[in-house]
Amino acid sequence: MPRFLTMVRIDERNAPTEAPDPDFDARMGALFEEISKAGVMLDTAGLTPTSEGTRITWSDGKLGYTDGPFTESKEVVGGYSLTRCENKAEALEWAKRFLEVHPKNWTVTVEVREIVEG
């Protein structure tokens, strides 16, 4: 069964400053419980802000290091999930359900990509 990486993309510069509605954590917890019991979720986590990251570039045989924040990036990966699904349609359905848990005034994008095996 294929594995999929879902990258949660956010705009760090325009992230919501207000707390989510009081039921957000309960809705997200219920979804994570359901996806785990279904045997789909392999791993998930949020990521620290880009201000705490470092990019390493390989160019012309040399390494270059750039500390964050990465102001030239409009969207950054703020979290991820690793799932095992029957097919891409199932992976997209879980990603849709993840997005629907979020408050309507938030802007969150996910990118779902199948992992190349072997």
* Alpha-carbon span 44 to 41, nearest angstrom: 8
Q: Summarize pLDDT for 104-113 with one digit per residue, the tens.
A: 888 999 999 9
pLDDT at position 73? 73
pLDDT at position 61? 97
Q: Where does the pLDDT of residue 66 fall: very low under 50, low under 70, confident under 90, or very high at 90 and above?
A: very high
Helices 88-101 and 24-37 cross at an angle (nearest 10°) of 160
CA distances for 107 relative to 52, 58, 84, 110, angstroms: 22, 33, 26, 10
The average pLDDT across 10-22 equals 83
Q: Domains (ranges, CATH) in the chain?
A: 3-114 (3.30.70.1060)
pLDDT at position 74? 77
